[in-house]
A = this chain, B = another copy of it.
Amino acid sequence: MSAMLHTIELIGVLAFACSGLIEARRKRMDWVGVFTVAFIAAFGGGTLRDLLLDRRPLFWVENQEYPIILFILTLIAVPMLRRLRQIMTDKVLDWADAIGLGLFSVNGTSMAMEAGMPVFVCVMMGVITGIFGGVLRDIICNEIPMVFRRSQLYATCAFAGCWIYLAGHYVELPEVVSLLAGILSTFILRILAIRFDWKLPA
């Protein structure tokens, strides 16, 4: 179980990192910029959550292998980014990103609950964990954050997923079932939103 969660988490981290990598390259950054933006896209949301909840060690300090993997990945990926883009099509990226969104959001909510936060704050912490990596990535790249522009539902999926997780938690389902329900519903909502072009009203 734990190994499975770890694998899912790594997929999420790598998906978020890829979004940073691609964005940084589009802005013609050099290797340092690419690594930093990928790093912030992958770990920014979790770091902000840890700062707000006063959790230490930080997520990427506790799992030192994550930044190291990311470091090596960037070393390898930058020279062959064009080829990488043939494997990592937009569809693959969207799916991996949706997995990351679900996992990080629901995980953030669960950590906020453990820290004894009130319920609405727990959901906000979850959404922050899920989306702020991307927000910080876009701020560094000098763009208005993608999630705030009128595009297909993103934060809203995380918001719904976190409530579903909490609902499961309050009716005392086994924790793993609640977690999976939250992650899966975020994931499915996000995929549907992309598929059917669901947007928030103007």
Contacts and interface: CB of A to CB of B under 8 A. Distances in A.
Interface of A: 24, 27-33, 36-37, 47, 51-52, 54, 56-58, 60-61, 64, 67-68, 71, 79, 117-118, 120-121, 124, 135, 139-145, 147-151, 154-156, 199-202
A49 to B, nearest CB: 12
A8 B15 CA distance: 42
B64 A33 contact: no
19 contacts: A27-B144, A28-B149, A30-B150, A30-B151, A30-B202, A31-B200, A32-B154, A32-B155, A32-B200, A33-B145, A33-B147, A33-B149, A36-B147, A60-B121, A61-B117, A64-B118, A67-B124, A79-B201, A140-B148
Contacts of A27: 144, 148
B30 A149 contact: yes
A158 to B, nearest CB: 10
Contacts of A121: 60-61, 64, 67
Closest CB pairs A-B (n = 10): A33-B148, A30-B150, A64-B118, A32-B155, A30-B200, A29-B148, A31-B200, A142-B144, A61-B121, A54-B56
Which residue among A32, A71, A147, A151 has the maximum number of chain B CB atoms within 10 Å of its CB?
A: A32
A67 B125 CA distance: 12
Nearest to A55: B54
A32 to B, nearest CB: 4
Given A29-B144, A30-B202, A200-B30, A67 B150 contact: no
A142 B120 CA distance: 28
Contact of A64 (B52, B57, B120): B120
A57 B54 CA distance: 9
A31 B150 CA distance: 8
A151 to B, nearest CB: 8
